A and B are shown apart, each in its own frame.
Chain A
Amino acid sequence: MASLNNHEEPRVIEITDGVLLPTHGERRIIDSWRLTLSIAILGLLAMIFLVKDPYSQIFRVVIKGAPLTFGVTLGAIFGSVFLGLFTGIGQIAHVRLLQLISGVYVELIRGIPLLVQLIFIYFALGKFFQLDGIPAAIIALSICYGAYQGEIFRAGIEAIPKGQMEAALALGLTRGQAMRYIILPQTLRIVIPAIGNEFIAMLKDSSLVSVIALRDILRRGREHVSRTFLSLETYALVALIYLVFTLVLSKLVAMLEDRMKRHEQ
């Protein structure tokens, strides 16, 4: 019967498909993270400042795509978390219609390759609404990633012990109040690692928008290659830039996770 106590400790949902997040417990991962970042940054600096030609020129061209890469990623992070939250709640809602809608959305999105979805949504949006490339890309990425995050939120909500909802209802809270004040705050804590991984994946997958004519880092690189034929040099630099961004973002996510944990106690 003492095992009942375990129900109060929230479990952590970990679904990793991105960069390994450095955590305090695992020193080796921190070390490999540091090592990789150092190599990437040193490599980048050496190419730009020591070898110089043609790398400093390439760097100046492709880095102009960084604001777009970040902008699209950030927008899609907000959009997909918003969508994901509603989808997750919809999946466990007591309203059959909501369950169906969010369920179909998730199944549909998960069954189609991201690149195909992105192109389809982009052109579909373009056909029916007069949307600029950037908002269209953000919406498309949000729709794609919202489905995955919906699954994470659903798993997170379902991992909260049933007694939490019961205690809230027994106190007279409505289901909505219980969700808002009791269930979701706890859910947020346990999904942060998985959601953070999605953010990192989104930063990487934002490079897909280069196929829909948005001039992000990768697109600028491709344009540069078509002018100069320096394909190996250009793509090496592009890869290093993405690597540095991803590693830094993964660190930020780990710090966020840490702060959430410290708040707990």
Chain B
Amino acid sequence: MNSNKIMVDIQNVRKDFGTVKALRKVSLQIHEGEVVLIIGPSGSGKSTLLRSVNRLETLTSGQIFVDGDPLIGPKADIRKIREETGMVFQSFNLFPHLNALDNICLAPIKVRKLSRTVAQERARKLLKRVGLGDRENAYPGQLSGGQKQRVAIARSLAMEPKVMLFDEPTSALDPEMIKEVLDVMLDLAKEGMTMIVVSHEMGFARAAADRVVFMDEGEIVEMGTSQQIFDNPREERTMKFLKHIL
């Protein structure tokens, strides 16, 4: 499924919040169609790394390329990169004043300049794809957590991104809703979407992750296939962390 093309190229990225070194020289290449899972203890910099890729956090130093386009520097076109990277948040961040359909249509209409009819047609298809074909008129306040997150995924997909970023997409959900969201993500992975996922869902990791990255204290400590990392970790810190979450 992976091609040789590098879709996201993270080079020597550092990010300081005042004296806190959230990321220290992180480098990571993600190929087209690859699913990379990032794990690590709280505060290890997972969210910061993800949020750096679409510049919700500005880098202290380093560079990131998304499909060859630089994130930093005079040639950087941040809006283009944001159009090409979808992001799914732990807390959904659906727009509460818009119904499901309008949540999905807004960016295609305002950013991609699609006509309302075309945008709605696509939005309906996406809602069907995430199993919510009958809820297009529902407002976020009327949806369950799992449904909200699926609408949020559909909303990102409506921009036809080349990369999808997921920051703990299931950790605000009740256990019975986790599967419905993971299933949508698994489908996406199968269809060849490039994905960077921060999550501690082992089932998803084993089923879909091409690579697992373990981060601690702003660094990548170890990476490998899910088997390598989960069953035969090399580093002490990885073992300790895995013992903690398993």
Within residues 154 to 180 of chain B, which ones have a CB less than 8 A from any CB in chain A? Answer: 155-156, 159, 171-172, 174
**Is B89 an interface position by the 8 A CB rule?**
yes
Q: Which residues of B contact A189 (CB under 8 A)?
A: 97
A39 CA / B83 CA spacing, docked (Å): 61
Using C-beta atoms within 8 Å of the partner chain, give the interface range for chain B: 20 to 34
Q: Is A5 an interface residue (CB 8 A)?
A: yes
Are the C-beta atoms of A185 and B155 separated by less than 8 Å? no
The reply to whether the CB of B192 lies closer than 8 angstroms to some CB of chain A is no
Task: Let me know if B139 and A264 touch, CB within 8 A.
Answer: yes
Return the chain B residue nearest A164 by Cβ: B93
Q: How far is the CA of A171 from the CA of B86 in the complex (A)?
A: 7
Q: A171-B106, A172-B82, A172-B83 are in contact. Are A10 and B91 (CB under 8 A)?
A: no
Contact with A along B47-71 (1 / 0, CB 8 A): 0000000101000000000000000
Let me know if B93 and A172 touch, CB within 8 A.
Answer: no
Provide the residues of chain A in CB contact with B54, threshold 8 Å. 170
Cross-chain contact of A4 among B91, B94, B159 (Cβ < 8 A): B91
> In the complex the two chains form, is A8's CB within 8 Å of B79's CB?
no
> Which residues of the partner chain B approach A4 to less than 8 Å between Cβ atoms?
90-91, 172
Q: Are B82 and A182 in contact (CB under 8 A)?
A: no
Nearest neighbor of B110 in chain A, beta-carbon distance: A177
- What are the residues of chain B within 8 A of A163 when measuring CB–CB? 89, 91, 93
* Nearest neighbor of A3 in chain B, beta-carbon distance: B172
Rounded to whole angstroms, the CA-CA distance of A172 and B90 in the bound complex is 19
Query: Among the interface residues B82, B91, B92, B111, which one has the most CB atoms of the partner chain A within 10 A?
Result: B91
User: Which A160-213 residues have C-beta < 8 A from chain B?
Assistant: 161, 163-164, 166-174, 177, 181-182, 185-186, 189
A9 within 8 A of B: yes
Is the CB of B45 closer than 8 A to any CB of chain A? no
A52 within 8 A of B: no
- The answer to the question of B107 belonging to the interface, with a C-beta cut-off of 8 Å to chain A, is yes
Q: Which of A5, A171, A181 contacts B82 (CB 8 A)?
A: A171
A2 at the interface (CB under 8 A from B): yes
B38: CB under 8 A from chain A? no
Q: How far is the CA of A169 from the CA of B140 in the complex (A)?
A: 19
Chain B residues, CB < 8 A from A130: none
**Cβ of B141 and Cβ of A170 under 8 Å apart?**
no
The answer to whether A34 has its CB under 8 Å from any CB of chain B is no
| A95 at interface by CB-CB < 8 Å | no
Closest to B103 in A: A167
- In the docked arrangement, what's the CA distance between A56 and B155, Å? 65
**Taking A167-B95, A173-B111 as contacts, is the C-beta distance between A264 and B141 under 8 angstroms?**
yes
The residues of A that contact B90 with a CB separation of less than 8 Å are 1, 4
Q: Which of A2, A8, A171, A181 contacts B96 (CB 8 A)?
A: A8
Judge if B228 is at the interface, Cβ distance under 8 Å.
no
Neighbouring A residues of B107 by C-beta, 8 Å: 171-173
B145 within 8 A of A: yes
Is there contact, CB below 8 Å, between B95 and A164?
yes
B189 within 8 A of A: no
| Chain A contacts for B145, CB-based, 8 A | 5
Q: Which of A170, A181, A264, A265 contacts B87 (CB 8 A)?
A: A170
A7 within 8 A of B: yes
Q: CB distance A181 to B110 under 8 Å?
A: yes
B155-A265 in contact (CB<8A): no
| Cα–Cα distance between A181 and B98 once the two chains are bound (Å) | 10
CA–CA, A189 and B95, complex, Å = 13
Instruction: Tell me whether B142 and A8 are in contact (CB under 8 A).
Output: no
Partner of A166, one of B56, B94, B106: B56
A189 to B141, alpha carbons, bound, how many Å? 15
* 6 nearest A-B pairs in the assembled complex, by CB-CB distance: A167-B93, A171-B107, A172-B83, A163-B93, A170-B87, A172-B111
Which residues of A are at the interface with B, using a C-beta cutoff of 8 A?
Answer: 1-2, 4-5, 7-10, 161, 163-164, 166-174, 177, 181-182, 185-186, 189, 264-265
12 residue pairs of the A-B complex, CB under 8 angstroms, read A1-B90, A4-B172, A161-B91, A163-B89, A166-B56, A170-B82, A170-B85, A170-B86, A172-B82, A177-B110, A182-B106, A265-B142
* A2-B174, A170-B54, A173-B110 given; 18 more Cβ-contact pairs under 8 Å: A1-B171, A5-B172, A8-B141, A163-B93, A164-B95, A166-B56, A166-B93, A167-B95, A169-B82, A170-B56, A170-B86, A171-B82, A171-B106, A173-B106, A173-B107, A177-B110, A181-B106, A265-B141
